[in-house]
């Protein structure tokens, strides 16, 4: 059972959408799935937030500047419309916390604000999808 929980936590570090169904496939209790995916998601947020600056500096050594401006994508539209809160909550719900943190670092958002809103987004996402999975299985 320890390895199943560790697997859920590891999957949730990168993508919660894979971790919660895997927990149900392993036959774990929904509370255990919620706690393991929450812990893994929070670890992913903190790793992305506090190592993201160092990774950005390292990658900038190899990048050449782009003269033309790219077309605005989904995340940029969220940023322009809702700001830090939207990027933390909606970005975490749609594309995941590590990507939202990376975009926030790219937009020079204060790290502590991004971490707070992404942690809240991970909590909501884990609770929502674990409850949906649990009650969906109750239908069968």
Summarised one tens digit per residue, pLDDT across range 25-44 is 999 999 999 999 999 999 99
Whether 55 shows a pLDDT value over 80: the answer reads no
Alpha helix (H) residue ranges in the chain: 2-14, 16-26, 30-60, 74-94, 97-106, 111-138
Q: Greater confidence, 132 or 98?
A: 132
Instruction: Give the pTM.
Output: 0.81
What is the distance between the alpha carbons of residues 130 and 3, in angstroms, rounded to a whole number?
A: 19
Query: Using one digit for the tens of pLDDT, what is the confidence trace for 57-115?
Result: 787 788 777 665 656 677 677 778 888 888 888 888 888 888 888 888 778 888 889 89
């Amino acid at each position: 059972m320890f390895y199943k929980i560790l697997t859920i936590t590891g999957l949730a570090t990168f993508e919660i959408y894979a971790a919660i169904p895997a927990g149900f496939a392993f036959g774990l209790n929904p509370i255990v799935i919620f706690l393991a995916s929450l812990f893994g998601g929070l670890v992913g947020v903190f790793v992305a937030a506090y190592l993201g600056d160092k990774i950005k500096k390292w990658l900038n050594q190899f990048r050449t500047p782009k003269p033309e401006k790219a077309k605005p994508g989904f995340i940029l539209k969220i940023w322009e419309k809702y700001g830090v809160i939207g990027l933390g909550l909606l970005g975490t719900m749609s594309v995941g916390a590590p990507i939202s943190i990376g975009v926030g670092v790219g937009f020079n958002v204060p790290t502590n604000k991004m971490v707070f809103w992404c942690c809240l987004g991970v909590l909501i996402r884990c609770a929502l999808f674990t409850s949906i999975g649990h009650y969906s299985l109750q239908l069968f």
